[in-house]
Amino acid sequence: MSFKTLYAYQKAFDLAMEVFKLSKTFPVEERFALSNQIIRSSRSVCSAIAEAYRKREYPKYFTNKLTDADSENAETQLWLDFAEACEYLPAENKIILQSQSEEVGKLINYMKNNPGKFGVKI
């Protein structure tokens, strides 16, 4: 099985793509500040999930990488807060993206709490 079949990865990837599209609407002066940060953190969620899955034969590494994914997901939420506060993101869109991010967080935590279901030998 590939990490790409993981529901958490798929949802995180979808969120990262939505964030990327959103960042294109930010002002040019935010290109290397807010845009870069929010794109990086949202993509890092996917990366950490993939790394965790590929290293699932090592339980501590699996958990550590999922903890990283969860942290990056929280950082993405922070940047969404900034985007809304700076009026680059309408409140309705923020609610949708926040909800998607919270779903990703729940899926990551499910993986952490149920490692055996993902091939981790406990």
| CATH number of residue 94's parent domain | 1.20.1440.60
- Domain assignment present for residue 122? The answer is no
- Domain assignment present for residue 46? The answer is yes
Domains of the chain: total: 1
**Statement: residue 122 has pLDDT above 80:** no
**Statement: residue 1 has pLDDT above 80:** no
Mean pLDDT along residues 62-86: 97
- Domain assignment present for residue 53? The answer is yes
Residues 4-24 as b or e (16 or more Cβ within 10 Å = b): eebebbbbbbebbebbeebbe
- Domain assignment present for residue 9? The answer is yes
- Domain of 50 in residue numbering reads as 3-117
Rounded to two decimals, the pTM is: 0.94
Helix, strand, coil shares of the chain, percent, nearest 5, are: 80, 0, 20
